[in-house]
Amino acid sequence: MNITYNLNEELNGIELFFSAKPQKEVLSNLKENGFRWSNFKKCWYTKQSEKAFQVVNSLVSGEVKETKEEKNKQNKLHTRKNKQVKTLSLWEAAQWNGMEVNTDQEAKVIAKEIRAHIKKRFPQCKFSVTVPYYGKINFTIKSSPFEKGSVYLNAVKEYCVNLLNAYRHCYSPSDPYTDYAGSYNFYGYVEIDWEYTQTAATEEVEKDMKEFDVKFVEAEEAAEEKRKQEFQAYMEQREAEQREYEKQQAEEKKQVETIYNNVEVKELDETNQYFITGSEFANLNKNETLDQYKEEVQNGDYSLENVKVTKEVHFSSQEALVNFSNMLLNDFDFLANTGGSFTEDNRINSMTDFYNMDELEKQTVQWNLYGVAIYLDGQLQFIVDAQGHSYARYVGLTDNAKVEKTIVFNQVVTDEEKEELTHQADVLEDISTEVICELNIMDTWQNESWKEYKEAMKVKFKESNFSFTKRVIQQLELEELKVSMYKLLQDVDSIQDQFEEADLSTGDKVTLFYISDWGSIVTSRVTLDEVANEKYAQYDNAVKLTFTPEKKRKLHYKHFYSELLVYKGWLNLPDTVLHHVEETNNMKVTRSKYHSCDHRQYDEILNYFDQQGIEPIVNTYKPKF
């Protein structure tokens, strides 16, 4: 190891230069004697002194010698470094073969590791890997000898993307249904810098690029060959699957022939039809085999249904029945146009009646099924509800069912009530016909002349004291008239029209009832200042009420666009109208009769004030006849 020194007269210093890194003992000796390292001049320096000259003379005179072991160690390090530089070509460096990394580190530590790795991997390129803020890594390619958009630069970028993704860890995956983007240990991506610079390519780099071109072509050819082999294997698999499918089809055809050769179908007329009550229908429908239905029922996932049998299918062999039981989703002509639902509820004369019921009314309707009974040697096996299809769409097990000729339907409306309602329905039909003829709106009463028709019907109802209710509409036979009457029963005038007809003035005291955003009824006793028709948000038909609330001095305003009840004067609504009130031990317990946003709260309010002879001046909930 060569040692030289220089006297810096300008700074009155001594500068020591070493051709290699000194031993630890030498470094310790220098530090103990006041020498410091200059990274700028790459030397050890100190102020001139007698002690400093003694140290320099001892080193220069040859007392510092490298050991053979250290020399060999340094030679090995140089050899290893040279090997690392020469080992990886551009093609080899750009190949990603996976990498085990620690994803539990902070973003700064990860960025440092990426920076060190990528610098050694692609020494001809310049990168920027920074952490601008917590949880974000910016990875940019600043410059390289490769043209922007070239396969070489794209290969480098792809490697960088794979390296960055290797460190990425997902704590919580994204959910497209909730617009949740997921949670990761960091966010970031690799990009080419917008001020990217292409540096001059050395001979070694150009040689690397030529080798890359050759390897790239070889890789493309290998990939193409692999795709051909995979496609060939795919086609062979498809051919094998096709042969297996044809084999299954042939076997299935034999099974179908066995079914038709061993089956007798009996159509049952109305007098011979009967009921199978308590049939167990699995909630998981459209299964291929009967065993799947049995498994669902054994797990308790089923419902009990009553089925009216309109057709019987009798199998004469066990094999035919087994074949049919394993082919439930196949089409069979003896199942065509069978099944479906029906009710003998005298409130329902068409599905329009059911659709216009509220949820509580719908729950009171008893529905039954039409079905096909499957027999083997005269023994009932199971029942099929095809719902109008040609396959066993729904299957009911009959092990615990009963066969009955008739069943009793519990009617909500008695025969006497139904007779009276039917008479009222005939009167309603006559009133409608009379109004249409008087107004001469035969072709337009359902559309262009609907408003005129509606007002005339209201007048007729009042003149004849006709009770216009849902129960009467249910007994109408004309479907066209039934639909229009349900519309009339539910169709309310717009909120703007009703406020105009109410003829309210500034200073009028009114009581407002409406459902709040929390779902409960709000009672507001206010003194009106102004009513203005205007658009609110997406609602074209809305009003803006400006008012002074009870016990307030300043004006308030609120927009209304949906259900609202307005009464003249300041009214009180007792707690018992909408709540159950209990008083025990000097404590008052109040519980709501209804759930949030239940519109039946409006019905309670209307009924309470109707009993007192008080009618709302604005009612956008539903018309009252």
Tell me the pLDDT tens digit for each residue of 20-46: 888 888 888 888 888 998 888 888 889
Please check whether residue 508 is in contact with residue 526, taking contact to mean a CB–CB distance below 8 angstroms. Answer: no
| Reported confidence tier of residue 83, pLDDT bands at 50, 70, 90 | very low
Whether 193 and 141 have beta carbons less than 8 Å apart is answered as yes
**Residues 304 and 363 occupy one common structural domain:** yes
Is residue 529 located within the same domain as residue 615? Answer: yes
Q: What is the pLDDT of residues 208-230, one digit of tens each?
A: 999 999 999 999 999 999 999 99
Asked whether residue 314 falls in the same domain as residue 349, the answer is yes
Question: Average pLDDT in the 397-416 region?
Answer: 92
372: CB partners within 8 A, 6+ apart: 309, 310, 311, 312, 313, 334, 335, 338, 339, 383, 384, 385, 386
Q: Which of 94, 88, 90 is nearest to 160 (CA)?
A: 94
Domain with 11, as residue range(s), is: 3-70
Structure confidence by residue, pLDDT tens digits, 429-467: 999 999 999 999 999 999 999 999 999 999 999 999 999
212 is a domain residue: no
Average pLDDT value for the chain: 91
Last residue of a domain, one of 181, 201, 221: 201
Q: Are 466 and 428 in contact (CB under 8 A)?
A: yes
Kindly tell me if the per-residue pLDDT of 321 is higher than 90.
yes
Whether residue 268 is found in the same domain as residue 400:
yes
Q: What is the pLDDT of residue 624?
A: 78
Nearest to residue 605, comparing CAs of 573, 570, 561, 567?
A: 573
pLDDT of 85 reads 46
344 and 318 assigned to the same domain: yes
pTM tops 0.85, yes or no: no
Number of domains in the chain: 5
In this structure, the answer to whether residues 483 and 518 fall within a common structural domain is no
Q: Is residue 580 part of a domain?
A: yes
Check residue 602 and give its pLDDT.
Answer: 95
pLDDT of residue 171: 87
In a domain, 56, yes or no: yes
Tell whether 500 and 570 lie within a shared domain.
yes
pLDDT digits (tens, 9 = 90+) for 242-296: 999 999 999 999 999 999 999 999 999 999 999 999 999 999 888 899 999 999 9
pLDDT reading at 65 higher than 60: no
Same domain, yes or no, for 297 and 396? yes
Shared domain check, 142 and 45: no
Domain final position from 374, 404, 434: 404
Confidence of residue 81 (pLDDT cuts 50, 70, 90): very low
Residue 166 lies in a domain: yes
Last residue of a domain, one of 169, 201, 233: 201
* 336 occurs within a structural domain: yes
Q: What is the DSSP string of 24-62?
A: HHHHHHHHHTT-EEETTTTEEEEE--HHHHHHHHHIIII
Same structural domain for residues 485 and 499?
no
Q: What is the reported pLDDT for 29?
A: 87
- Same structural domain, 305 and 336: yes
**Same domain for 425 and 399:** no
State residue 186's pLDDT score: 93
Q: Which run of H or E residues covers position 402?
A: strand 402-404
Structural domain contains residue 81: no
What are 386's two structure tokens?
């095809």
Q: Give domain status of residue 76, yes or no.
A: no
CA distances (Å), 275 to each of 313, 317, 406, in order?
A: 15, 25, 6
What's the pLDDT at 74?
Answer: 52
